[in-house]
Structure 1
Amino acid sequence: MLYINGAWRDSATKLNVLNPATGKVLTAVATGGKAETQEAIASAKKAFATWGKTTGNERSNYLSKAVQLMKERSKELAETITLENGKPLPDATREVAGAIGFFEWYAEEAKRIYGDTLPASDPDKQLMVIREPVGVCAAITPWNFPLSMITRKIAPALAAGCTVVLKPADVTPLSAIKVFECFHEAGLPAGVANLVIGPAEEIGSEMTRNPDVRKITFTGSTRVGKKLMRDSADTVKKISMELGGHAPYVVFEDAEIDAAVNGVLVSKFINAGQTCISTNRIYVAESIANEFSEKLAAKVSALVVGNGLEEGVNVGPLINQAALEKVQHQVEDAVKQGGKVLTGGKIFTLEKESGYFFEPTVIHYANDRMQITTEETFGPVAPIYTFQTEEEVVERANHAEYGLAAYCYTKDLGRGLRMMRALEFGIVGINDPAPAVVQAPFGGVKESGTGKEGGKYGLEEYLEEKYVSIYMK
């Protein structure tokens, strides 16, 4: 279903939504294109005239109502994520909690949008800076976190006083529909939040080229992000983008090995490795590499692959056939280049299901000739490289293009601080495989994106500063 100007809309064109664990159709949803996107933008522009002038307390109340509705439906939301995305139900449940957390956080932040009083150089002047909402925002969200990526964008936008047109990923639109059902029941004014499902090129082109859209926020591939930036240039829109990642995971000889091994399980195999900050390259000090590899392989081989709705499953399916083939190709290339598969390495077949499963995989003796060294994997494959010196691993860890997240394990405080500074990434976890939290900035450097989401930093992305000088004589 489409949601435009406060009303649900059906259409003749439909999109089949598949369960990646079974390969079967879950349901069909209505889709729109350029005309519906134009209508959604027009309704958002009209609503902004009023919504942008509401008090922070009023906006906070609407977000709080949505929070309560999401909490009441948390089980249904988690099941929806698992059905259309494939991730195990416990992981989906944590995503729901995180998604609600963004609404809760920004419901409070809506009341704390402050300005500044500046010291004047002329005694007859009063100088101020006020912060105002950007205007109509177009949000494009990915499939790997189909609920939390929506709330991480929409919550700060609404809190700031912006109106929104959302285009969710085609493969996971059901989570978006569930969120908008909560908006509708919370009584959010017509046009403040709009949902358009349909062809990415057609909808995205209208969003980037329509002058009434003043901001684009996007999470997805670097290739698509670059195109959106180019297409937005003619109307000079404000942009925030969280793009591709290729996270290094550095384990020094003084690290707590068991903790570092368990950290890989969190950073690499959550959501079958389909996360933007997922570990892609594991650099282990040569002196402990064999011990680390053996322990990691033992832990990974014990992971249970299957339908995310079944109890005890740790790793669900990949999102589609193309993703499965990409992972298989990278593993085959790694073996040709001298890598040794310690566990996994193959497409996984379940008797009951015909979905897109790949065995959780550990590859020892990885090297820089492998495609996996430079190309984002987005799958459950952990390649292990070795290094000898701190200077060497810093140079190898810093990717030429990507700069989203990096991890480092060491007991040496000084080394940890040096690595914090030396790693060219927007997010660094020192002995922490899960650094992302609602109150902290999330985003990358280099070709991993621009702008930040989360905390007060995410709110600032939806605000503009207006300088006011008052001559009092």
Structure 2
Amino acid sequence: MTQSTSQATHHSASQPDRESAAIASVPTGLYAGGRWSTTARTMPVHDPSTSEVLTEVADAGPEEAAATLDAAAAAQAGWAATPPRERSEILARAYRLMVEEAERLALIMTLEMGKPLAEARGEVAYAAEFFRWFAEEAVRIDGGYMTAPAGDSRFLVAREPVGPCLLITPWNFPLAMGTRKIGPALAAGCTSVIKPASHTPLSILALAEVLERAGVPDGVVNVVTTSRSNDVMTPLILDPRSRKLSFTGSTEVGKSLLELAAKTVMRTSMELGGNAPFLVFADADLDAAVEGALAAKMRNIGQACTAANRILVQDTVAEEFAERLTRRMAELPLGRGVEDGVVVGPLINAGAVDKVTELVGDAVGRGARVRLGGERIDRPGHFYPATVLTGVPAEAELCSTEIFGPVAAISTFETEEEAVAIANDTPYGLVSYLFTTDLARGFRVSHALEAGMVGLNRGVVSNPAAPFGGVKESGVGREGGFSGIDEFLETKYISVGL
């Protein structure tokens, strides 16, 4: 089956002007203590759909980056003492500003990251919701009071901000991963230094300007952009003034950061890699399962830690499911994310295309069948077509490696027990998906799956009101939901003598 590569309709002739205006609206310096400043070096930000340079931003070195932690540490006491209602109102204003400026923020994200504009708009809405959620949580930080068992004292339990935080965000969801960390930090009374990925710094830089207008005091949120992450972040992590590290990214980098954080016994939250299984049982609603697989696989062009990495289908319906999924994926238009109707945008860089190409080649070499796509596209930018593979053997490298591309790899199973065993046969445990119309099976398998999150008859699980995070090598801690603010609070016990 041949995938449609027809280009979606272009915007009007003024679209290049809108793109230029969006990029020009973003500050490009180091943001410390409420001030923007230049650095000795700059680094380019590329459009992955054309490989062209969009703009240059600050490329901070260790000494320049130190100013951001200095500012965060200086502002910590004042921000911690700010009334919760005031913190809440600032977050609520930031939420409203993001909603008002959604189109500009979405266009900035699409230009620097490549995801389709429709998805970027969805991410802006999702990102803004973290500010609204934590605006509500800021005034609900609780404590405790009880009588000691012996009756001779009272126990007071207070929850206080952990202190200055280091927040490191990935390139694939450049805005939402920022608000998911900044929101609870602000609500809890913590200042922060945020370092966005070097591929996609513009979304966070634009967000910093929004927060400034929302009334966040100088030094409470600071931004450092750099191409030398290790050189810049290591001294900040080892600085005893830094009391919290929140990172979203690969398990390999997360492990290195945990080792560093251990040197000062710093609080950590880690949202790391995944290898999500997507189980389809014979009794599933196949139409719903196909749409769920499409959502779980193709969100962000497959570049998501929550992406369905291994699609496991019960053997009696595997062929029908594969045919339906192939038809749907063949219909997805490919092109620049700013073009109307595009679903398959570019991957983040040439290395990402090389990785997907190698993984597909390895699977095919081991016996997998290409039902759709399977070969890189000869055009400017970093594109790879929507691809469907069937008969993927367990020893294929993509069964143990995050694909991070638009490749649906389908394997089969016979029994429920086999499905669960295959799904859990991985060091990762971020999210799992299953489709079945048998309620008992749904609950049984959901509890048997070793994952921090489960999508039962759903292909998307992310929600600001729910705890996001994994088990095993997929992470430590949770973001969002009622537990999201806990990661930024310390518990203090006060014993009161009578």
Of 190, 193, 196 in structure 2, the residue corresponding to residue 165 of structure 1 is: 193
Aligned pairs, number = 469
Offset of 1:126 from its aligned partner?
1.5
Q: What is the correspondence of 1:296-445 to structure 2 with a 5 Å cutoff? A: 296-350=325-379, 354-445=380-471
Q: What amino acid maps onto 1:118 in structure 2?
A: M
Offset of 1:211 from its aligned partner?
0.9
* Distance of 2:192 and 2:330 partners within structure 1: 44
Residue 147 of structure 2 contacts residue 153 of structure 2 at CA under 8 Å; is this kept in 1?
A: no
Residue 429 of structure 1 contacts residue 435 of structure 1 at CA under 8 Å; is this kept in 2?
A: yes
Q: What amino acid maps onto 2:265 in structure 1?
A: V
Aligned match of 2:56 = 28
* Distance of 1:465 and 1:118 partners within structure 2: 15
* Distance of 1:341 and 1:100 partners within structure 2: 40
SS at match of 1:461: helix
Structure 1: 5+ residue stretches without partners: none
Of 458, 465, 473 in structure 1, the residue corresponding to residue 491 of structure 2 is: 465
Aligned match of 2:217 = 189
Aligned match of 1:92 = 120
Offset of 1:187 from its aligned partner?
2.6
SS at match of 1:213: coil
Residue 410 of structure 1 contacts residue 431 of structure 1 at CA under 8 Å; is this kept in 2?
A: yes
Of 204, 213, 219 in structure 1, the residue corresponding to residue 248 of structure 2 is: 219
Aligned match of 2:308 = 279
Percentage identity across paired residues of the two chains: 48
* Distance of 1:346 and 1:392 partners within structure 2: 32
Q: Which deviations, in whole Å up to 9, do the C-alpha atoms of 1:236-290 show, x marking residues without a partner?
A: 0000000000000000000001110111110101111001100000000000011
Q: Which deviations, in whole Å up to 9, do the C-alpha atoms of 1:211-251 show, x marking residues without a partner?
A: 11000000000000000000111100000000000000000
Of 313, 317, 330 in structure 2, the residue corresponding to residue 288 of structure 1 is: 317
Residue 40 of structure 2 contacts residue 60 of structure 2 at CA under 8 Å; is this kept in 1?
A: no
Q: Which deviations, in whole Å up to 9, do the C-alpha atoms of 1:15-61 show, x marking residues without a partner?
A: 10000001100000112121122221111111001111111101112
Residue 407 of structure 1 contacts residue 432 of structure 1 at CA under 8 Å; is this kept in 2?
A: yes
* Distance of 2:387 and 2:66 partners within structure 1: 46
Residue 271 of structure 2 contacts residue 475 of structure 2 at CA under 8 Å; is this kept in 1?
A: yes
Say if 2:298 is the partner of 1:269: yes
Q: Name the stretch that deviates more: 76-85 or 183-192.
A: 183-192
Residue 441 of structure 1 contacts residue 458 of structure 1 at CA under 8 Å; is this kept in 2?
A: yes
Q: Which deviations, in whole Å up to 9, do the C-alpha atoms of 1:291-347 show, x marking residues without a partner?
A: 111111111111111100000101110000000000000001111000000001111
Of 451, 456, 478 in structure 2, the residue corresponding to residue 452 of structure 1 is: 478
Q: What amino acid maps onto 1:281 in structure 2?
A: R
Offset of 1:435 from its aligned partner?
1.2
SS at match of 2:217: coil
Aligned match of 2:8 = none
Aligned match of 1:138 = 166
Residue 37 of structure 1 contacts residue 206 of structure 1 at CA under 8 Å; is this kept in 2?
A: no
Say if 2:38 is the partner of 1:10: yes
Residue 322 of structure 2 contacts residue 410 of structure 2 at CA under 8 Å; is this kept in 1?
A: yes
* Distance of 2:355 and 2:278 partners within structure 1: 22
* Distance of 1:281 and 1:426 partners within structure 2: 17
Q: What is the correspondence of 1:44-193 to structure 2 with a 5 Å cutoff? A: 44-193=72-221
SS at match of 2:478: coil
Of 269, 279, 285 in structure 2, the residue corresponding to residue 240 of structure 1 is: 269
Aligned match of 2:12 = none
* Distance of 1:390 and 1:370 partners within structure 2: 22
* Distance of 1:438 and 1:66 partners within structure 2: 16
* Distance of 1:183 and 1:369 partners within structure 2: 48
* Distance of 1:106 and 1:399 partners within structure 2: 36
Residue 270 of structure 1 contacts residue 315 of structure 1 at CA under 8 Å; is this kept in 2?
A: no
* Distance of 2:193 and 2:347 partners within structure 1: 28
Q: What amino acid maps onto 2:327 in structure 1?
A: A
Structure 2: 5+ residue stretches without partners: 1-28
With normalisation by structure 1, the TM-score equals 0.98
SS at match of 2:473: helix
SS at match of 1:111: helix
Aligned match of 1:258 = 287
Residue 246 of structure 1 contacts residue 399 of structure 1 at CA under 8 Å; is this kept in 2?
A: no
Aligned match of 2:11 = none
Offset of 1:123 from its aligned partner?
2.6
* Distance of 1:69 and 1:431 partners within structure 2: 34
* Distance of 1:108 and 1:237 partners within structure 2: 27
Residue 77 of structure 1 contacts residue 96 of structure 1 at CA under 8 Å; is this kept in 2?
A: yes
* Distance of 2:93 and 2:64 partners within structure 1: 28
Offset of 1:146 from its aligned partner?
0.3
SS at match of 1:188: coil
* Distance of 1:349 and 1:61 partners within structure 2: 50
SS at match of 1:158: helix
SS at match of 2:468: coil
Q: What amino acid maps onto 1:387 in structure 2?
A: F
* Distance of 2:214 and 2:400 partners within structure 1: 46
Residue 220 of structure 1 contacts residue 242 of structure 1 at CA under 8 Å; is this kept in 2?
A: yes
Q: Which deviations, in whole Å up to 9, do the C-alpha atoms of 1:67-109 show, x marking residues without a partner?
A: 2221221110000010000000000000000010000110111
With normalisation by structure 2, the TM-score equals 0.93
